[in-house]
Amino acid sequence: MNKRKSHKTPSLKNAKRVIVKIGSALLVDADSGMLYRAWMESLAADIAVMRGRGQDVIIVSSGAIAVGRRHLNFSSGALRLDEKQAAAATGMARLAHAYEEALGNHGLTVAQILLTLDDSENRRRYINARNTLTTLLRLGAVPLINENDTVATDEIRFGENDRLAGRVAAMIGADVLVLLSDVDGLYTADPNKDATARHIPLVDAITPEIKAMAGSSQTEYGTGGMITKLAAARAALPAGCSVVVADGNGENPLKAIEAGGR
Ligand code: GLU
């Protein structure tokens, strides 16, 4: 991974292949279970600009459970694993449809892929997944990846989409992985409790400082905190993929990252 140091970290604008991971809290209104359509449209516009430049874009999106639970009339609060799986199955169709509409407005084709972490560990499945992704990118489609929650077990509880995005980044040789959530970077400590906490928006090497970081932030719909973002970085960095952790709350979140010089 140190050999990357002699290379310039590619900016989002210059990256050949980019993975964008989107947390549930950015996509779904917690009270109504409705998708934030205007935000999705702004994301789709950013992706269309990137595709127009010839960049490959892969989306890893959470949100299936958050959307599906309202359609199954679950009340707010914790769900059992089988209930989460039922909610995910219900919500995934709606989520994919919303992406299809938003990206379709720009003439882009969405292709849904549901994966588990096992798929990146079993050689035959790893190669199959990689071949399918590579073919889709060659054909100009935008792969839309989520965990295959129906067959996942512990994974749903730990916000594994961050980890999954890191594995996929390594699998297909992405240059940049963007983790969009409601935090604007990694912090060396909890900034609410520790005034010396340092902000790290771009991770292009696992330094001892980063290794020492811990702590996790949780919202009702996003199960990924710092720990899973670090896990994503650990998977992506050795494959030469740098990781941007950005607050995606505003519209046009990718354009905003570019405007910030990354
Ligand atoms: N796969 C879950 C969903 O779509 C999200 C898991 C995660 O937040 O990482 O709802």
Determine what percent of the chain is predicted with pLDDT higher than 90.
Answer: 61
Spatial distance between the Cα atoms of 58 and 111, rounded to a whole number of angstroms: 10
Mean pLDDT, rounded, for 212-216: 54
The lowest-confidence range among 155-159, 172-176, 191-195 is 155-159
Ligand 1 center–CA 160 separation, angstroms = 7
Ligand 1 center–CA 102 separation, angstroms = 20
Residue 2 has pLDDT above 60, yes or no: no
**Is residue 257 a contact partner of residue 246, using CB atoms and an 8 Å limit?**
yes
Spatial distance between the Cα atoms of 36 and 95, rounded to a whole number of angstroms: 11
Mean pLDDT, rounded, for 195-200: 80
Spatial distance between the Cα atoms of 78 and 168, rounded to a whole number of angstroms: 29
Nearest-CA residue for ligand 1 atom 5 is: 62
> Ligand 1 — pocket residues by CB below 6 A?
24, 62-66, 88, 146-147, 149, 156, 159-161, 222-224
Q: How confident is the model at residue 1 (pLDDT cuts 50, 70, 90)?
A: very low
Mean pLDDT, rounded, for 137-144: 98
Residue 105 has pLDDT above 70, yes or no: yes
Pocket test for ligand 1, best of 144, 147, 153, 167 (most atoms within 8 A of CB): 147
Q: Checking DSSP bridges between strand 110-115 and strand 186-187, what pairing results, if any?
A: unpaired
- Predicted local confidence at residue 222, as pLDDT: 43
Nearest-CA residue for ligand 1 atom 6 is: 159
Residue 29 has pLDDT above 80, yes or no: yes
SS3 32: coil
Selected residue with higher pLDDT from 150 and 109: 109
The tens digit of pLDDT for each residue in 216-255 reads 444 434 445 677 888 899 899 999 999 999 999 999 999 9
Q: How confident is the model at residue 177 (pLDDT cuts 50, 70, 90)?
A: very high
146 CB-contact burial (10 Å; exposed 0-12 / middle 13-18 / buried 19+):
buried
Residue 41 has pLDDT above 60, yes or no: yes
Residue 215 has pLDDT above 50, yes or no: no
